[in-house]
Amino acid sequence: MATIWPTNWAGLGYGSSMELSPQSWALALLAAWLVGASKTGLSGGVTIAVVLFASIMPAREATGALLPVLICADFLAVSMLHKNVRWLELLRILPWTALGVGLGTAMLYFSNDTQVQRVIGAIVATMTLYQLYRKARNLSDVNISMHPAFAPSMGVAAGFTTMVANAAGPFVLIYMLAMRMGKLEVVGSIAWYFLVVNLFKVPFAAGLGLITWESLAFNL
């Protein structure tokens, strides 16, 4: 993914948000709108936002810069859907998600920007192909998996992909649908899931230097 991040900012990691070009600001604002729209059911909105952020800044920094935007949208989504949640199902998957976040943090720590860029590209491509496959096959439901590895595998996969690329939506959706929830329960449980997980990711992202005062100014 080519970057249109200003050269002096790319070299320093972060700088004044005023260094963004008008084209970069337009893409950032579109990405923020897509994040908000995704919380109301726009399928694939966050995936596109991930790509847009990665196109205006280095891939590692893009992961941290998008996180506060997602958290803002999560709070708004939960405020509207706070009663539509199945906590038992969330408690089954959240510990495994935490493990996946840990694995994703390790991957980010030991990887350079080019490697992270490739991983994000692979994750986004896989998520996109899966969404297209579901639409082509008209798969609106998921069979319940009683295998004991189902929740752990979905949780670890979601945790890793959300830490590295903020793109865990399909894994979480598969899990929620498999739990035979109603439509509002699916949306509400997903909203709570991502609020909890994204807040959990903040100290890890900050520890990696992906969230800074400059990046928060950019978010604001």
pLDDT in tens, 126-163: 877 877 776 676 655 555 566 788 889 999 999 999 99
| Residue 198 placed within a domain | yes
Averaged pLDDT, 48-69: 89
| Residue 12 placed within a domain | no
Confidence (pLDDT) at 113: 85
10 CB-contact burial (10 Å; exposed 0-12 / middle 13-18 / buried 19+) = middle
How far apart CA 138 and CA 33 sit, in angstroms, is 27
| Residue 174 placed within a domain | yes
Confidence (pLDDT) at 83: 81
| Residue 176 placed within a domain | yes
| Residue 81 placed within a domain | yes
Query: pLDDT higher for 181 or 18?
Result: 181
Match 């096959």 to its residue by tokens.
Answer: 137
Q: Running DSSP on this structure, what letter comes out for residue 57? A: S
Confidence (pLDDT) at 207: 93
Averaged pLDDT, 112-126: 86
Averaged pLDDT, 112-135: 81
Confidence of residue 6 (pLDDT cuts 50, 70, 90): very low
Distances (CA, A) of 61 to 26, 33, 46, 151: 18, 20, 16, 30
pLDDT exceeds 50 at position 11: no
Match 């958290």 to its residue by tokens.
Answer: 71
**Can you give the length of the chain in residues?**
220
Domain that holds residue 165: 21-219
Confidence (pLDDT) at 138: 62
| Residues near 123 by beta carbon (within 8 Å), at least 6 away in sequence | 161, 164, 165, 167
Q: Running DSSP on this structure, what letter comes out for residue 145? A: P
Q: Which of 14-28, 163-177, 193-207 has the lowest mean pLDDT?
A: 14-28
Match 């998921």 to its residue by tokens.
Answer: 142
pTM summary value: 0.82
| Residue 170 placed within a domain | yes
How far apart CA 11 and CA 110 sit, in angstroms, is 19
| Residue 53 placed within a domain | yes
Averaged pLDDT, 99-110: 94
Residue whose C-alpha is closest to residue 195's, from 88, 80, 62: 80
pLDDT tens for 179-219 read: 887 788 888 888 899 999 999 999 999 999 999 898 899 89
Structural domain total, the chain: 1
| Residue 37 placed within a domain | yes
How far apart CA 90 and CA 43 sit, in angstroms, is 21
pLDDT exceeds 70 at position 41: no
pLDDT tens for 64-101 read: 999 999 999 999 989 888 788 889 889 999 999 999 99
